[in-house]
Amino acid sequence: MVRTPGVGGVLPRTEALVCTLPYFLGYYGQICFTKGKQKVYTHIAGTGSAVPQRVLTNDDLAKMVDTSDEWIVSHTGIRQRHVVGPDENASTLGCEAARRALADAGVAPEEIGTIIVTSTTPDYAIYPSTACVIQGMLGAKNAAAFDMSAACPGFVYGLTVAKGLMQIDDRPILVISTEIMSRTINWSDRNTCCLFGDGAGAVVLKNSEVPGGLGFHLIGADGTGAMAIHREGGVRTEETARQAPGDLKMDGRAVFNFAVRSFCDIIAKSLEHYHYTEKDIAWIVPHQANTRIIDAAVKRINVPVEKFYVNIDRFANTSSASIPIALDEMAKKGMLHRGDRLIFAAFGAGLVYGGVVVEWTK
């Protein structure tokens, strides 16, 4: 488990002086870094998202496999998903989401210091990174660019890494999560084909001395569950190196149990860190995988289900894009107000989990 510096973790760089414990338990419990004598906070300055136009409903799926709208809605909460057309991919969707986030933040592409892309469905097998492809498309010529692999919690991992980087380079960072799940699933397997959708979400992060923004982070992994969600291929043997990755394979029940534990752990530890109760939190923005996972978590923790923002009915599970798509939707609907405290909570293949507490400052 990696905790934010000051919560028992290790300083990434000695010169990036971390606030003392009494301080960050002080102002809204925010965690910040200092630059000279100034305290620096990392804020979400803009959000954007993009989904393909094409929609596939549960009834459409019922014509392809032995399933029904009733089964899918009652077991997952999903009613439809967006699916890419032939000319769309992780970079086209990710670039569109990024453009919208930049416009929202009022930041020009040239001002971006780093582009981090999280995707389980990159344009190319390993290189060039989708981040580099998008950097070229955006004209973000001053930005470093790299991809990160952390499956569905990729966005939360991305925020955590970005915040660390912004201690040593003050320029804004773009975190883009973009997923084309429809090209990884077996459309004749009813166990998985109803669960996923395509889409992208992005945020622009900016440092400032104004308190708020990204607070407590909690990321972790359990590699003993590595095969619970996997795709073949990869270069681990001569044989697999020549194989196509094949379809997504998943032990749904094992992932379900891990997911409920992860949600409970992230929410409990976030509240505990600040000595908050659920009343101090405006929204929990969960990874959108299954409404039954949220219901099961709610039974174990003292947080009402109304605090969870859910849009899985319209987008299904878009892996790492699900939280930034939800966040952008909430922002555009005017549901987020200055000072609102949010908890992002995610789990996924690896197995990995990640959470972050955000004080909304836009």
Taking CB under 6 A as the criterion, the residue among 105, 152, 161, 343 binding ligand UT7 is: 152
Q: Which residues contact 12 (CB under 8 A, 6 or more apart)?
A: 5, 164, 167
Please report how close the Cβ of residue 329 comes to ligand UT7 at its closest, in angstroms. 19
Please report how close the Cβ of residue 85 comes to ligand UT7 at its closest, in angstroms. 24
Please report how close the Cβ of residue 43 comes to ligand UT7 at its closest, in angstroms. 27
| Separation of alpha carbons 98 and 3, rounded Å | 28
| Separation of alpha carbons 48 and 179, rounded Å | 15
Taking CB under 6 A as the criterion, the residue among 67, 129, 160, 167 binding ligand UT7 is: 67
Q: Which residue is nearest to ligand UT7, using beta carbons?
A: 252
| Separation of alpha carbons 221 and 241, rounded Å | 26
Number of H helices and number of E strands within the chain? 12, 16
Q: Are strands 173-180 and 114-118 parallel, antiparallel or unpaired?
A: parallel
Please report how close the Cβ of residue 189 comes to ligand UT7 at its closest, in angstroms. 9
Span near ligand UT7 by CB under 6 A; candidates 21-29, 68-76, 80-88, 206-214: 68-76
Q: CA 8, 9, 13 angle in degrees (round to 5)? A: 140
Q: Which residues contact 208 (CB under 8 A, 6 or more apart)?
A: 40, 41, 43
The separation between the first and the last C-alpha atoms of the chain, rounded to the nearest angstrom, is 30
Span near ligand UT7 by CB under 6 A; candidates 64-72, 96-104, 108-116, 118-126: 64-72
Cβ proximity to ligand UT7: between 72 and 156 the closer is: 72
Any bridge partners for residue 40, and if so which?
33
Cβ proximity to ligand UT7: between 42 and 118 the closer is: 118
Please report how close the Cβ of residue 349 comes to ligand UT7 at its closest, in angstroms. 7
Q: For the segment 248-267, give every residue that binds ligand UT7 (CB under 6 A).
A: 250, 252-253, 255-256, 259
Please report how close the Cβ of residue 67 comes to ligand UT7 at its closest, in angstroms. 3
186 is catalytic: no
Any bridge partners for residue 43, and if so which?
206
Any bridge partners for residue 175, and if so which?
116, 203
Q: What are phi and psi of 101, to 5 degrees?
A: -65, -40
By CB under 6 A, residue 290 contacts ligand UT7: yes
Q: Of these residues, 95, 273, 287, 290, which one is catalytic?
A: 287
The total number of residues written for the chain in this structure? 362
E strands, 150-255, are 173-180, 198-208, 213-221, 229-230, 249-250
The tokens of 317 are what? 């599970």
Q: Which residues contact 267 (CB under 8 A, 6 or more apart)?
A: 284, 297, 301, 303, 343, 345, 355
Q: For the segment 297-356, give every residue that binds ligand UT7 (CB under 6 A).
A: 317, 348
Please report how close the Cβ of residue 91 comes to ligand UT7 at its closest, in angstroms. 22
| Separation of alpha carbons 70 and 58, rounded Å | 9
Per-residue x/- mask for ligand UT7, residues 180 to 219, rule CB under 6 A? ----------xx--x-------------------------
317 is catalytic: yes
The tokens of 270 are what? 């976030």
Per-residue x/- mask for ligand UT7, residues 84 to 123, rule CB under 6 A? ----------------------------------------
Span near ligand UT7 by CB under 6 A; candidates 27-35, 69-77, 135-143, 198-206: 69-77
287 is catalytic: yes
Active site residues: 152, 287, 317
**Where along the sequence are the contacts to ligand UT7 (CB under 6 A)?**
67, 71-72, 75-76, 152, 190-191, 194, 250, 252-253, 255-256, 259, 289-290, 317, 348
